[in-house]
Amino acid sequence: MGRIMKVVYFISYLVIFGFFASCSSNAQSLLIGNTKSPDSVSIRTDFNKYFKNYNVQGSIAIYDDRNNKWILSDSSDVYKEALPASTFKIINLQIALETGVVKDENELIKWKGQTDTARYGYRPEIYRDMTIQEAFRESAVWVFLDMAKKIGKDNYKYYLKACNYGNQNLSEEGDDFWNFGFLGISPVNQVNFLRNMYAEKLPFSKRNIDIVKRVLINEQNENYTLSAKTGWTRQGGINTGWWVGYVETKAGVVYFATRLFQDRKFNSPGFGPCRKEITRSVLRDLNLIY
């Protein structure tokens, strides 16, 4: 009997230890790159209704810097990693600027006359000479692939580690490792990266961070400035969509990262727009935009 009780106690210990280790891991991921702990973490499962309205799975992570508070749509998906897709352009442009591959957002990149519509879809509007700012806002893959070849994997490894960006897995042989391969980042990690960028705690000059902040701006009015970047990749028959960024108000800054998944068997023309529509619904619930 005593032996059975020991086994029961041991199993109970493993379960309890596993629970607290999981909680500790999640808590640590909330604090990556930041010195102060959040006052609170609020789980808002009611936000899931917005994902269901568009027949997608997903989650949103929000950090309210005004109140030192995390707001999460769930307690698990927001920590899971997936390809960053074009949200990687935020760090990619900073690396390109820091390494001297490009000078600023106004530099003109000449189109070399090559397209890859089979992999990236039919987007004739991006196949032309473009400034860096235009390429960023239009998500012109060819411009950033050209930059990636010049930056090189060694520089990427250094900066991804220095910025604590995702899982830092660059084992994909091709240059487009943010759309295809094994690089992964979670919504919580996306938010922490943006927080550190905004606070200028990354290994990039203020000048280069300011350039990226300028090209990130989507919307400005007397009440707020919304800065964000979309992302969408189709690896493995799954649509993975992102919208990440922050909202600046007179009261402070609120950061967000929304990520969606959809099986391409049920491919919907509304998948692209709903990345923003879901996020805007949540931000309106929080009285951040109108």
What is the model's pLDDT at position 112? Answer: 85
Which pLDDT band holds residue 26 (cuts at 50, 70, 90)?
low
Q: What is the 3-state secondary structure (H, E, C) of the chain?
A: CHHHHHHHHHHHHHHHHHHHHHHHHHHHHHCCCCCCCCCEEEECHHHHHHHHHCCCEEEEEEEECCCCEEEECCCCHHHCCECCHHHHHHHHHHHHHHCCCCCCCCCEECCCCCCCHHHHCCCHHHCCCEEHHHHHHHCCHHHHHHHHHHHCHHHHHHHHHHCCCCCCCCCCCCCCCCCCCCCCECHHHHHHHHHHHHCCCCCCCHHHHHHHHHHHEEEECCCCEEEEEEEEECHHHEEEEEEEEEEEECCEEEEEEEEEEEEHHHCCCCHHHHHHHHHHHHHHHCCCCC
Q: What is the pLDDT of residues 66-105, one digit of tens each?
A: 999 999 999 999 999 999 999 999 999 999 999 999 999 9
pTM, two decimal places: 0.88
* CATH dotted code for 38-285: 3.40.710.10
Q: What is the pLDDT of residues 162-210, one digit of tens each?
A: 999 999 999 999 999 999 999 999 999 999 999 999 999 999 999 999 9
What is the model's pLDDT at position 37? Answer: 60
What is the model's pLDDT at position 4? Answer: 43
Catalytic residues: 86
Residue 8 pLDDT > 50, yes or no?
Answer: no
Give me the chain's average pLDDT, please: 88
What is the model's pLDDT at position 36? Answer: 55
Q: Domains of the chain: which residue ranges? A: 1-30, 38-285
What is the model's pLDDT at position 119? Answer: 67
Q: What is the pLDDT of residues 172-182, one digit of tens each?
A: 999 999 999 99
Greater model confidence, 45 or 112: 45
